[in-house]
Amino acid sequence: MSKRTALIFGHNKYADEIISNVKKTYSNIRIFSLEDIDADSSYKVEKFDLSDEWKGIGEDINIEESIAFCVLEDMAENIFLTISLRSNFVDLAIIAVALNRESANKLSMAGANKVIPLVETTADIITNMLEKPISSKILNNILYEESSLKIAQIKIDTESKLDNHKLASIDWTRYHGVLILSLIHEDMKSEFIYSKKMKEYVIQSGDILVVVGYEDDISEFEKIIGSKRYVNWSHWRR
């Protein structure tokens, strides 16, 4: 019942890529397709209809713990699907892919928590590759590739050593091999570590640190400050 489930709507290249990237995090993956199902897929594909009321799904899985990916190639259908999911499941995290320029805005209006604007993102990647080749390579490594350099978000707990410390009093750049880029308040506003506001800021429990470092160093850092890596979707709630 409470299994973390990834619901993927659309059975195409995008879906394949998403499956291969999220299967580690989500043990249960369900794929829904508008078309007739071909048998040779390694995953079970269920057929759905845009007029579905999704009664069955709500009973099967824990919506709070699940995530839905809307990757239908027809943008009108994708938007309709997003609206239909949102109207049925208020708490479902929905990620939608926008294949053209106009639909990104419409998808977020339709209730997607996160829209991946494909045209915009691809253009960003290309521009960065051309204009800032080195930083783009390094960031890509950090973000996407299987390198030992990682980016992580660490939440400060009440038991954490850093709790109630003044942010500026700690030499962050030399702190056990990790670099701290920014701090995110509980209201989900992110602040760059060297910004003016941060000078006098006292770390509170609930703050999240965004750090870059080697995998081992990050684990070490977690142990020392007594907090742990943390993922939640609360900032995506509407």
Task: Name the site residues for other proteins (rule: CB under 8 A).
Answer: 13-14, 16-18, 20-22, 25-26, 67, 69, 71, 95, 97, 100-101, 114, 116, 118-132, 134-139, 141-144, 149, 151-153, 173, 177-179, 181-182, 184, 188, 190, 192-195, 208, 210, 212-214, 231, 233, 235-236
Toward other proteins, which CB reaches closer, 43 or 52? Answer: 43
Smallest separation (angstroms) from other proteins to the CB of 88 = 22
CA–CA gap between residue 222 and residue 227 (Å, rounded)? 5
DSSP letter string, 78-137: HHHHHHHHHHH-TT-EEEEEE-STTHHHHHHHTT-SEEEEHHHHHHHHHHHHHHSHHHHH
Toward other proteins, which CB reaches closer, 47 or 101? Answer: 101
DSSP letter string, 169-224: GS-GGGSTT-EEEEEE-TT--EEETTSGGGGG-B--TT-EEEEEEEHHHHHHHHHH
Please check whether residue 95 is in contact with residue 70, taking contact to mean a CB–CB distance below 8 angstroms.
yes
* Residue indicated by tokens 């050593």: 161
Smallest separation (angstroms) from other proteins to the CB of 79 = 17
CA–CA gap between residue 238 and residue 234 (Å, rounded)? 9
Half-sphere exposure (Cβ direction) of 117: Cα atoms closer than 13 Å: 14
Paired sense of beta strands 179-184 and 190-192, if any:
antiparallel
**Residues pairing with 82 in the sheet:** none
Smallest separation (angstroms) from other proteins to the CB of 139 = 6
Smallest separation (angstroms) from other proteins to the CB of 58 = 21
Smallest separation (angstroms) from other proteins to the CB of 63 = 16
Residues listed for the chain: 238
Toward other proteins, which CB reaches closer, 87 or 195? Answer: 195
Smallest separation (angstroms) from other proteins to the CB of 130 = 6
Toward other proteins, which CB reaches closer, 26 or 201? Answer: 26
Toward other proteins, which CB reaches closer, 88 or 128? Answer: 128
Toward other proteins, which CB reaches closer, 52 or 172? Answer: 172
